[in-house]
Structure 1
């Protein structure tokens, strides 16, 4: 194994020591990551290297002209020539191993979160961007000769041949039963499920000499002396001379039309920035919303995000200020949904875009706003999923009722999720609650 292989093996060992995904979401530093690159801390194992041992004074000597000769001693080691584990003074180092990052894109993050939480969200295509011909799997009665399904035509003819086949000799013997004529034999054949026509029986009867028409005294005597031969036995012995092909059996193959749909998603993130949303609550919102953004980015072909902050009024903000902004005003959550409805209607029509509307806050809202305005607005905004995340680190406040009211009203709806987060340890469960609701819908 060469040094290059050694380095790769040590790198793999280091990556195996990366922070667990759930632990990273709950307690890790999310700020080092970008929307298109998630950086998870790992501790890289120190790579092996050749070092100079200052205690070894023997070996190659120094010859004339500065060139060491065999057996000549080398001079005393100089300060700073020591082992790489020490600091500049040569003393042993006290710092821990080097911390680096395992980098993954949103697609890998989504796959790993699916595996971690047992999810498998299937992105939905919306707007048709291309129609193309697929496999020739559909069938029609007309078409060009080049698309005639001859195999099907042959099978239909073969099935008809087998269905109409019968043991002619056996039926002829029935015509030799004393007192039986064509009418009696035809009724008997129908009872025996022999596919013979009345015309065939009459023609066969005419060809039998009158002296032979009373060979058997009864049908029981005939059956004791004549064995009925199966179709399979005759085909194995004689084969099939011809297969009748009928125009009514002709079918023509044509390609299935495959619609390629663009998998677009818009995620509307709504956050309460009123005076009651202090730093601990804001951090829980960020820990919940950021992985959701990464996950949906990794799942869809094209993901766009809208960030809305609100107190008593709502306004659109950039992501950079979304998690840090704070106002001193009151709270009217409906103002955010009113703005979200306007933005979605104008720029992200439901026919072309998958929609996710995620809101978060401490569940405090102005009087009657949840029942009178928020719930009707949620019902009127078409979306794959509506979610509300309550962040209350100290437990429920007396007037923090928004989440429970939403949960109670939408208890039977499969596209509304409510999650409760009191600390970082609740974040992963909240994400599962939200994404599993979308999975079931």
Structure 2
């Protein structure tokens, strides 16, 4: 078995032994970067040899006779070998009980889609390259080498079919008693025979000796059977096709724009004094998988992090989930900063997500008078607010409820409530399924 087969087998075992993805999101260690997701895996105990410093005789011999299955095998060694103190660690001691099953964000996003029944299809926005595609564009001018002869022939043939007429039928009409060329021309027009007056005049001369063969045009119409043009073409073939310069079309390559699927995510967190450790942990359990998921879905993903109490400031990811201040709360300060940040990411070129989280406590009237108008003004694929209230909401925790009520007319706003780890995957589904539907 080669190295590749070993690796594939390891991944199969890891996939079988690692925890369910929903369980990992609710309870697992979410630490790690955005490039690789490390899921703890209970490893298989591997067989091992134990070495004894004493000379026990020949190879394979030892005290107690044949060892039982699984019993360490003593192997003779030089008294000078090994740990000089004689108290070295036993083989296998000090090692961890878990390994890690690693998946990249693309695999994580695919599995989360399958687990939660999502089907988010990112939108390509920024044009990163223009390519020449197939020669499907047609223009009226171009080099002769790109002349589309098929189009030229089709247009000429269409004209041929439209203008061709049954000459024998017109000649019979010329034999009607007492008519002249103009009478025959008018009759032909009534019968949708596209013949010229000049042609009729020549035909009248050719059949001058047969005038009077028919008493009227009605008799010609009833007695003379017209031959369809398709039958004449099958019989006689096409002697000529009337090409014209306006029929010429030249092929050019279609210009294909390759658009990059790129996204910026602004994560906002309340760090005021009421956001104690348990609430902060719930925010991390929701936001971290969302970051992984969107990293896996988009070609390019950028994340910006805003912390706020009564004021807002931008922080690095490493600080985002741990900060706690003693200040009050004014959520609109975070949205004001988010609006400034998103000016760097034009809506015409970037997919934009604004995710906020807190315990729904906010200063009086700030939600209705400031936050809601800011959310309406900020163009985004999705605005989401995650309320973290373990054990139930506080009396003044009304922000989530007010956002739901004031923005009920918007299909790009999601509100999720998380009271404990069991609610985490439901909150993630609520957020991502809102984007999927919109």
User: Shorter-chain-normalised TM-score: which range?
Assistant: 0.7 to 0.9
Q: Is it true that 1:285 corresponds to 2:297 in the alignment?
A: no
**How far apart are 1:427 and its partner, in Å?**
2.4
Q: Paired residue for 1:406?
A: 403
Q: Do 2:49 and 2:72's aligned partners in 1 also have CA atoms closer than 8 Å?
A: no
**How far apart are 1:364 and its partner, in Å?**
0.9
Q: Is it true that 1:142 corresponds to 2:136 in the alignment?
A: no
Q: Paired residue for 2:105?
A: 106
Question: When the two structures are aligned, how many residues end up with a matched partner?
Answer: 411
**How far apart are 1:291 and its partner, in Å?**
1.1
* CA 359–44 in structure 1, closer or farther in 2 if over 3 Å, else same: same
Q: Paired residue for 2:20?
A: 20
C-alpha distance after superposition, 1:285-322 (max 9, x if no partner): 11111111111112222222111111112222221221
Q: Is it true that 1:236 corresponds to 2:231 in the alignment?
A: no
C-alpha distance after superposition, 1:158-201 (max 9, x if no partner): 11112212211122212223344434433333333323233322
Alignment partners' CA distance in 1, 2:17 and 2:227: 76
**How far apart are 1:78 and its partner, in Å?**
6.0
Q: Paired residue for 1:124?
A: 124
C-alpha distance after superposition, 1:49-105 (max 9, x if no partner): 7999xxxxxxxxxxxxx989xxxxx645569955448899xxxxxxxx964332111
Match of 2:270 among 269, 272, 275: 272
Q: Paired residue for 2:327?
A: 329
* CA 152–14 in structure 1, closer or farther in 2 if over 3 Å, else same: same
* CA 337–145 in structure 1, closer or farther in 2 if over 3 Å, else same: same
Stretch moving more, 156-165 or 336-345? 336-345
Q: Is it true that 1:424 corresponds to 2:421 in the alignment?
A: yes
**How far apart are 1:440 and its partner, in Å?**
4.0
Q: Is it true that 1:207 corresponds to 2:209 in the alignment?
A: no
Give the secondary-structure state (helix, strand or coil) at the position aligned to 2:269: strand
**How far apart are 1:2 and its partner, in Å?**
9.7
Q: Do 2:118 and 2:436's aligned partners in 1 also have CA atoms closer than 8 Å?
A: no
Question: Which residues of structure 2 form unaligned runs of 5+?
Answer: 51-56, 75-95
Give the secondary-structure state (helix, strand or coil) at the position aligned to 2:145: helix
* CA 330–150 in structure 1, closer or farther in 2 if over 3 Å, else same: same
* TM-score, normalising length: structure 1: 0.82
Q: Is it true that 1:359 corresponds to 2:356 in the alignment?
A: yes
C-alpha distance after superposition, 1:110-141 (max 9, x if no partner): 22223332212223322x44334333322222
Alignment partners' CA distance in 1, 2:197 and 2:58: 120
Alignment partners' CA distance in 2, 1:420 and 1:323: 18
Q: Paired residue for 1:93?
A: none
Please show how residues 29-428 of structure 1 align to structure 2 within 5 Å. 29-31=29-31, 33-43=32-42, 75-76=61-62, 82-84=68-70, 99-116=98-115, 117-126=117-126, 128-209=127-208, 211-219=209-217, 221-223=219-221, 225-345=223-343, 347-428=344-425
Q: Do 2:67 and 2:73's aligned partners in 1 also have CA atoms closer than 8 Å?
A: no
**How far apart are 1:271 and its partner, in Å?**
0.6
Alignment partners' CA distance in 2, 1:388 and 1:82: 61
Alignment partners' CA distance in 2, 1:397 and 1:327: 19
Cα-Cα RMSD:
3.4
**How far apart are 1:37 and its partner, in Å?**
0.6
* CA 44–228 in structure 1, closer or farther in 2 if over 3 Å, else same: farther
Give the secondary-structure state (helix, strand or coil) at the position aligned to 1:30: coil
C-alpha distance after superposition, 1:201-235 (max 9, x if no partner): 233223212x4122123445445543221111111
Alignment partners' CA distance in 2, 1:402 and 1:184: 89
Alignment partners' CA distance in 2, 1:87 and 1:276: 60
Q: Do 1:105 and 1:298's aligned partners in 2 also have CA atoms closer than 8 Å?
A: yes
Q: Do 1:41 and 1:101's aligned partners in 2 also have CA atoms closer than 8 Å?
A: yes
**How far apart are 1:269 and its partner, in Å?**
0.6
Alignment partners' CA distance in 2, 1:255 and 1:8: 44
